[in-house]
Amino acid sequence: MTTTIKTQLIQATMVGYAGAKNGGATIYALLDLSHNTLHIHEQKPRAEARFKTAALISNDIALTQCDFLFKDKDIKAAVDAYFYYQNSGRLTFSDSTAGTRPNIETHALTESGFDVRIYDGVTCAQMAVLAACLQAQTSREIMRALNAFEKTNGSDDLIITTV
């Protein structure tokens, strides 16, 4: 019997950006894997520990429980994930987190995608939203891979499916 995960709690904690009151900010988001939607639910000052079973993404190396260490090289992928969720109508914000929407400016299309600029005053909470989007996309890709593997019914045959 297989257990299907329908939702995932994401905790994104960022430090070192503007508005780093109390040392940073933490965003709690809920990923609905059935509908591929991401809801930014709550913003708090920097959390020092994982909340229950949340997937924890952070740029804070002091958080030893971190599932994914967010680095500067991940910003482009995080922006791409944000635009995927935002432009497809799959990203929602609670009233209390509406101010955490990242302010991103797109420029010309290059070989590697759109040239994007994040404004200098980007806050820890806004970066946490980007990190949450990246974690959501990563989780979705993992679940798709697991579902594809499960469809083989334990067979040793390699089955390639397009999604």
- Locate the domains of the chain by residue range: 7-150
Give SS3 for 46: coil
Position 143 pLDDT exceeds 90: no
Residues 6+ apart with CB under 8 A from 126: 17, 100, 101, 102, 103
pTM: predicted TM-score of the whole model, two decimal places = 0.83
pLDDT in tens, 46-102: 998 899 899 999 999 988 889 999 999 999 999 999 999 999 999 999 999 999 999
Q: Residue 7 in contact with residue 31, Cβ under 8 Å?
A: yes
Kind of pairing between the strands at 25-32 and 104-110: unpaired
pLDDT at 154: 56
CATH 3.30.420.280 is the classification of domain 7-150 = yes
pLDDT in tens, 123-141: 999 999 999 999 999 988 8
Higher pLDDT, 31 or 121: 31
Closest CA to 58 of 43, 69, 48: 69
